[in-house]
Amino acid sequence: MSSVINDERIPNNVHLADDKKLQRALEAWQPNFISWWKEMGPVGFQADDVFLRTAISVESDGWANFDYVKMPDYRWGIFLADAVPGRTIGFGDHYGEPVWQEVPGEHRNTLRRLIVTQGDTEPASVEQQRRLGLTCPSVYDLRNLFQVNVEEGRHLWAMVYLLQSYFGRDGREEAEALLERRSGDPNKPRMLGAFNEPCTDWLSFFMFTFFTDRDGKFQLLALAESSFDPLSRTTRFMLTEEAHHMFVGETGVGRVVERTADVMVEHKVSDPAAVRKLGVVDLPTIQRYLNLWYTLSLDLFGGEISSNAASFFATGIKGRAKEAEFEDHKALAGTYTFDAPKDGGFVKEEVPMRNAMNEVLRDAYVIDCQRGVDKWNRVLESHGLDFRLTLPSRRFHRQIGLFADVPTDPAGNLVTKEAYAARQNEWLPSDADKAFVQSLQQRPIYDPKQMAGWIAAPKHGIKGRPIDFEYVRHNEG
Ligand code: BYC
């Protein structure tokens, strides 16, 4: 059982008080984090009481506390899942050897880079979402946004703990740099593509939490297999919080689909322009938003063929999601075959399995995404509507890997650059789509009894509270 110290400046279950040097380093970083939060975190709500979940331990029953808290006072803490006694390396060349409690010198740079990359996404997402509170569809949704935001902040703490604890001066410098990059800033952008995209409306937010947070789930699952045990334990606990973020996305998109379907059936309309006139998002626009955020998130898995991924696997640094479910943990024998674009067509390209580890992880991700899409389609089906949402081909709209800048249609057929340019607005959100979605979200809803007209009410409230509970006590003054 892990002990939790909650009366320290930084709540933790890592015996921080016993390591004064580390404690001082983290306490020195803490005010910089709070300054970053106040500057780049949610705009306009820092003084409000928000009904938030706070991680307080890693016990499966009762790991979190729910109460009102002002966001800058949120108790961001450091929690590692309990160590698995006798844990051994689960894959790669060192399969079966004891896991590492310290960073092996030869893997120092690689591990640091992966931890920094993971860490960079956390503040990036808070920055991307910082203005959404000003157009919230309900107080329930406002609270969920802030819940996601504070927990992304905690996930940054999780990575900063590893950097400061195991990487000395370099780690401290990287921890500072994590607070200095800015999403979308061309001079100091965040590291990965999707985290520099604007996320300025709530449909984007729900797509982001469904698709992009789900990349987070799979990357964390892969890192949870790591031979570097502190990374494994940290990411295992992060996954506990991550589940709610994807719930917000899945139910958020589901509620938008449901509301549109309700209105279409009630008014017997299906023409997108007519649907829009009724104040809800037409289904083709929802599909275009889906196409955008799904494909941006596919890029986050890296190239299909990656020598980096092969070496992460060989050395035991990063595994596959749920490695225990695979039979062959060395993956030296198999191959993976891709359709690669060549001379206006496709050629089969076969690579050793280890070089395809990014694609193996992406395969698992695609299956998981499809499950959510199926749920949304069941809403359409239950309304007697024929329209179905679909995941586009993985070749579509890619900026990383074999299909980077290779124009295809959403079904994955190669098209000319001209055809792509001519039809892009059918496939991805146009400026007019974005303007329309934003036009529905001009006015924030701060009355707990109200819900915006473009989204259905949720099925349940949070932690047994009613849907119209005052989840955020917003001081409008
Ligand atoms: N954008 O060998 P390749 C989350 C770079 S989300 C820009 O194919 P590799 C969250 C790559 O770094 C999860 N650059 O890539 C969600 C490499 O650069 P170098 C975040 C990209 O190394 C919502 C080069 O291209 N966690 O937690 O196999 C809210 C060659 O690429 C991109 C992680 O990502 C891109 N999309 O794998 C909040 C886990 N993709 O080495 C949070 C840690 C690739 O040539 N990261 N590049 O300079 C990793 O495991 C790997 O870095 C990647 C790439 C999977 C991202």
The verdict on the CB of residue 192 being under 6 Å from ligand 1 is: yes
Ligand 1 pocket check: which of 178, 308, 313, 317 to mutate, most ligand atoms within 8 Å of Cβ? 308
SS (H, E, C) 340-385: EEECCEEEEEEEEHHHHHHHHHHHHHHHHHHHHHHHHHHHHHHCCC
Spell out the per-residue pLDDT of the chain, length 477, in tens: 455 656 689 999 999 999 999 999 999 999 999 999 999 999 999 999 999 999 888 887 778 899 999 999 999 999 999 999 999 999 999 999 999 999 999 999 999 999 999 999 999 999 999 999 999 999 999 999 999 999 999 999 999 999 999 999 999 999 999 999 999 999 999 999 999 999 999 999 999 999 999 999 999 999 999 999 999 999 999 999 999 999 999 999 999 999 999 999 999 999 999 999 999 999 999 999 999 999 999 999 999 999 999 999 999 999 999 999 999 999 999 999 999 999 989 999 999 999 999 999 999 999 999 999 999 999 999 999 999 999 999 999 999 999 998 999 999 999 999 999 999 999 999 999 999 999 999 999 999 999 999 999 999 999 999 999 999 999 865
The verdict on the CB of residue 197 being under 6 Å from ligand 1 is: no
pLDDT at 476: 66
Contacts of 206 (CB under 8 A, 6+ apart): 248, 249, 252, 253, 256
Residues 344-375: pLDDT tens digits?
899 999 999 999 999 999 999 999 999 999 99
Nearest CA to ligand 1 atom 20: 118
Paired sense of beta strands 64-70 and 472-473, if any: unpaired
pLDDT at 4: 63
Supply the DSSP string of 77-98, one letter for each residue. -B--PPP-TT-B--SSTTTTSB
Nearest CA to ligand 1 atom 22: 308
SS (H, E, C) 388-440: CCCCCCCCCCECCCCCECCCECCCCCECCHHHHHHHHHHHCCCHHHHHHHHHH
CA of 378 to the centre of ligand 1 (A): 33
CA of 157 to the centre of ligand 1 (A): 20
Residues 68-101: pLDDT tens digits?
999 999 999 999 999 999 999 999 999 999 999 9
The kind and range of the H/E element at 335 are strand 335-342
